[in-house]
Amino acid sequence: MTDRVLLVDDEAHITRNLEKVIPWEMLGLQVAGSAKNGAEALQIMGEQSIQLLLCDIRMPVMDGLELVRQIREKELACDIIMLSGYQDFAYTRAAIQYGVNDYVLKPIPYDELTGVIARVMSNQRNKQKQLFEEQQKIGRMIDLASEKILYDIIMDYTDFSGSHWLFSGDEQQLKLQQFVMIILDLDVSSETTKDWRDWTDKERKLWNFAVCNVLREKLQVNGLHHAVIQMRDGEWCVLIETAEFESFDEIRVKDWATTLMAAVRNHVKLSLNAGIYRGFATVEELSGAYKQVQLGMQLAPVHDAIALYPGAGERIQGEDKAFWVTAERLIGAVKRGDAAAVGVEVDHIADQLQHLNEHNGAGVKPLLHFFVLHLMREMKEMAVFSKEQEEQLWRRLDRRFNIKDLLSFIRQVTDAVTERSVDKKKQSELSMLEARTFLDRNLNRDLSVEEAATYVGLSTSYFSLLFKQTFGETFIEYVTRERMERAKTMLAESQKSVAQIAKEVGYAERRYFTKVFMKYTGDNPTDFRAKHQNVGTYESFGTIRQSGPSGTPESPGSMGLE
| pLDDT score for 190 | 53
140 Cβ partners below 8 Å, 6+ apart?
none
Rg of the chain in Å (alpha carbons) = 32
The per-residue pLDDT for range 385-418, each reduced to its tens digit, is 666 766 776 666 666 556 677 677 777 777 776 6
CB 34 within 8 A of CB 59: no
- How confident is residue 540, by pLDDT bands cut at 50, 70 and 90? very low
- Secondary structure of 159-211 in HEC code, one letter for each residue: CCCCCCCCCCHHHHHHHHCEEEEEEEECCCCCHHHHHHHHCCHHHHHHHHHHH
CB 299 within 8 A of CB 316: yes
* 309, β-bridge pairs: 277
CATH fold for domain 3-108:
Rossmann fold (3.40.50)
Domain boundaries along the sequence of the chain: 3-108, 177-309, 318-419, 436-560
Task: Using DSSP, state whether 397 is helix, strand or coil.
Answer: helix
**Closest CA relative to residue 141, chosen from 501, 442, 447:** 447
pTM: 0.55
| pLDDT score for 394 | 67
- How confident is residue 299, by pLDDT bands cut at 50, 70 and 90? low
Q: Residue 56 carries which DSSP code?
A: E
- How confident is residue 459, by pLDDT bands cut at 50, 70 and 90? confident
Looking at 328-337, 444-453, 504-513, 551-560, which range is the least confident one? 551-560
- How confident is residue 453, by pLDDT bands cut at 50, 70 and 90? confident
Q: Residue 544 carries which DSSP code?
A: -
The per-residue pLDDT for range 162-188, each reduced to its tens digit, is 556 566 555 556 666 788 999 998 865
CB 503 within 8 A of CB 444: yes
Q: First vs last Cα of the chain: how many Å apart?
A: 59
What is the helix, strand, coil percentage profile of the chain, to 5?
60, 10, 30
Provide CATH code, domain 436-560.
1.10.10.60
Mean pLDDT to the nearest integer, 24-30: 92
Domain 177-309 and domain 436-560 have a common topology:
no
CA dihedral of 475, 480, 485, 490, whole degrees rounded to 10? 130
CA distance 553 to 320: 50
Measured in residues, the chain has a length of 562
- How confident is residue 315, by pLDDT bands cut at 50, 70 and 90? very low
| pLDDT score for 443 | 84
Hey, which CATH number is domain 177-309, 2.40.50.100, 1.20.1440.230, 3.30.70.270, 1.10.357.10? 3.30.70.270
CA distance 442 to 446: 8
